[in-house]
Structure 1
Amino acid sequence: MSDDHRMYELEYPSPAVGEGGPAGPTLIIAMQGYADAGHAVEGSADHLKAALESRTVATFNNDELIDYRARRPVVTLNQHEISNVEDLELDMRVLRDSDGTSFLLLSGPEPDLRWEAFSEAVADLVERFDVRETICLYAAPMGAPHTRPLVVSAHGNREELVGSMFTFDGMVTIPGSASILIERELHKRGRPVAGFTAHVPHYVASSPYPHAMYQLLQSVEDSANLRFPLRSLERDMAKVSRQLAEQTAASEEVAQVVHALEQHYDTEMEEYRERNPEAMMPGEAQVPSGEEISEAFENFLAAIEDRDRALGEGHSPGEDESTRRLSDHYFIDPSEDDGFEGLAEDDE
């Protein structure tokens, strides 16, 4: 039996992978492990699996990768009998985003053992499914205030993956992880790979922090041209923001700490802006290119002409693809006569 076959088992029959996109699928790696401040990585994976349709593609062998003494599964006893043992599921799934585009998600507990062999096995799956790009998610506790836009820094071997995102200048030394070794293996094989790290305020790093989950997934959306349902995370963000505001207002000592972090944050961002004038700063929306705006506007005008033609023929037109895409991305309501007065919030 080959080492790969001991490492994972492919689902049979295998679900379709890569449908709905012009090229191969994107792979998102979001494993529970060391670099998961605010439970942002685990929470991002759980949100995607709960909100989107998914099917298992490959299941990894826990006996090859997990040290059960370090990561003991929860056991439930009922009426003096063992009724349940928690499954530690490390698997790769294919999901469809809100527009029907397929992508892959590798999630579950970070392996305790055999990182080298695991990295090679994941890279083999990347080649097997002709993955277009791989994005690894991380979250680190940082000296940042909750009152400022959350930073997501990027690194990678392709400019189009990192784009205008926040990056560290110079050299940075960090602890290793299984995801980092996967990045190294994919880089050695010449495959596009990047890592996105959410900078979580250190004083909330031990609790779920939906702001970090939201910003990580939004960064993936922008980089990989995917679309995720994020409304529930926005509600969680509002709730946590209220709680933090109340706690800050109730303690002068906490308020002073937050104020000092704000000053440091503002100084760092100003210096970064001076060094990188073209970079997209945290909290700034990604502005579409002139070409994208022109194409969207042409599609919008064409949709109005189709609608008027259909109304003249005595029936109501259905929403075509160009109109739907314009509404999704630029929040324009095609039911309005004036395209510049129909601004509405995207309800996802």
Structure 2
Amino acid sequence: MTGNSPMENHLYELEYPAPGNGVSADGDLVMIIALQGYADAGQGVHQAGQHLLQALEHRPVATFDVDSLIDYRSRRPGITIDRSRLVDSEQLSLSLHRIEDSAGTPFLLLEGPEPDLRWNAFSRAVAELATRLGVDRVIALYSAPMTVPHTRPLVISAHSSDPALVADLQRWESRMIIPGAAALNIELSLSRAGTDTVGLTAHVPHYIAASDYPEATYGLLHTVEQVGDLQLPLRALQTDMEKVRTQLAEQVESSGEIATVVAALERQYDNEMARLRQQRENTLLAPGQEVPSGEELGAEFERFLAGMTGDGEDGEATDGPADGPADDC
């Protein structure tokens, strides 16, 4: 049973009885956004959402009104015809679920097709739910086709409202303008309201972007574990990854043209990784040296000033005029 009070947003219905705030013991609640349709190369985002729903205990928290958000002409639901008779229609669903990870820690998952319409209203509705349910961190998933080879480790690039949250991940180095998305709108809206937001983008080889690529799903969810402090069941994905790797290896071996393209991408990938490593190592600190504390910097500065003025151990100047103070001007 669902219902809306007069004060509730009409874009969604809360499940009844209404859930509590759902926070974990330490007061942290993570929301994962996995919207299908934008930047979903290799079906990495869609499969991530589906994997969480299939592998973990969950229940719906809120259901959005897809009639208000979806343009059916651009995203036509499938209709099943069986022996000249219409028997079924695909039902599009955009919902917020409460899930418990492998350790029993609750988190939220916003899963379903990306809205075609009313992005601003949709973002406000998600932000309202996040505030209502006690969300303090949002992690949005993306998957983009890139000129990278499947024979090298998958890259996950990160952006965040707080750089400290993604300090150990690869980040975008330059300022750029990218096509908008509903999930990006939600991130921007929540970060402006003071909620921590993180965006994770899997780099999928462009030549297999149209096929299922479980490597992207695994990479996204494994990174979610780190950023969201969650424990997720990923072993089944590893089995799927091995199957796809074997298939790709067979295709490369059977085609000289494909092998040439992959080899070129490997060289490009290796050169870029070497550049990034050199950039990280090219600092004023020696390898393994830590940044000095404020007290250490202050003491070193005092020693520097003492050397400039020639102070001896007895506190008197060893250089400079031997007589009294300089003449007044």
Aligned to 1:173: 177
Aligned to 2:147: 143
TM-score by length of 1: 0.77
Pair 1:126 & 2:156 matched: no
Instruction: After superposition, give the CA deviation of every residue in 1:70-89 in whole Å (9 maximum; x if it has no partner).
Output: 11111224466543221101
Stretch of structure 1 that moved more, 71-80 or 264-273: 71-80
Aligned to 1:334: none
Aligned to 2:214: 210
Q: 1:50 to 1:250 in 2, by over 3 A?
A: same
Q: 1:174 to 1:208 in 2, by over 3 A?
A: same
- The alpha carbon displacement at 1:114 in A equals 0.3
Alignment of 1:53-92 (within 5 A): 53-78=57-82, 81-92=85-96
What one-letter code is carried by the residue in structure 2 that aligns with 1:209? Y
Alignment of 1:166-315 (within 5 A): 166-277=170-281
Alignment of 1:43-62 (within 5 A): 43-62=47-66
The answer for unaligned runs of 5 or more in structure 2 is 283-329
Provide the C-alpha distance between the structure 2 equivalents of 1:246 and 1:49, rounded to a whole number of angstroms. Answer: 32
Contact 2:23–2:134 at 8 Å: present in 1 too? no
The answer for unaligned runs of 5 or more in structure 1 is 279-348
Three-state SS of the structure 2 residue aligned to 1:212 is helix
Pair 1:14 & 2:18 matched: yes
- The alpha carbon displacement at 1:159 in A equals 2.9
Provide the C-alpha distance between the structure 1 equivalents of 2:280 and 2:58, rounded to a whole number of angstroms. Answer: 39
Pair 1:101 & 2:105 matched: yes
Provide the C-alpha distance between the structure 1 equivalents of 2:184 and 2:23, rounded to a whole number of angstroms. Answer: 28
Aligned with 1:111 (options 100, 115, 121) = 115
- The alpha carbon displacement at 1:2 in A equals 6.3
Aligned to 2:36: 32
Provide the C-alpha distance between the structure 1 equivalents of 2:166 and 2:130, rounded to a whole number of angstroms. Answer: 20
Rg larger for: 2
Contact 1:24–1:129 at 8 Å: present in 2 too? no
Three-state SS of the structure 1 residue aligned to 2:165 is helix
Q: 1:71 to 1:3 in 2, by over 3 A?
A: farther
Identity percentage of aligned residues: 50
- The alpha carbon displacement at 1:270 in A equals 1.1
Q: CA RMSD of the aligned region, Å? A: 1.7
Three-state SS of the structure 2 residue aligned to 1:50 is helix
